[in-house]
Amino acid sequence: PRQPAKTLWYDRPRYVYLEFCVEDSSDVKVTFEDQRLVFSCKNADGVELYNEINLYARINSKDSREKRSDRSITCFMRKWKEKVAWPRITKENIK
């Protein structure tokens, strides 16, 4: 059974950062679409983690990338409209 990874996010003028808190991740896959991000990986215990996020606003999927570390996977998503603050990361108004 898949479960979502714990996420943190940060809003910046040009980018939105989304951090998936997974230590010692493997099989990391990140798909950037114009208004959606799909993330999956396995954690140290081999549990499959999966997040599918319909983003609050459009991003430039070609200018977005992820960076993996021992503690987390951080996604740098380039905003389509710069300097427009995102009140939340998702399109739906949920936490």
- Domains annotated for the chain, with CATH where assigned, are 7-78 (2.60.40.790)
Query: What is the reported pLDDT for 95?
Result: 53
Nearest-CA neighbor of 38 among 28, 26, 23?
A: 28
Instruction: State both tokens at 84.
Output: 């427009």
% of the chain at pLDDT higher than 90: 95
Q: Is the pLDDT of residue 94 over 80?
A: no
In sequence order, what are the beta bridge partners of 54?
A: 36
Q: Is the pLDDT of residue 86 over 80?
A: yes
Cβ-defined contacts of 77-82 (< 8 Å, 24+): 77/15, 77/16, 77/17, 77/18, 77/32, 77/37, 78/14, 78/15, 79/13, 79/14, 79/15, 79/16, 80/34, 81/57, 82/13, 82/14
Query: What is the reported pLDDT for 42?
Result: 98
Q: Is the pLDDT of residue 93 over 90?
A: no
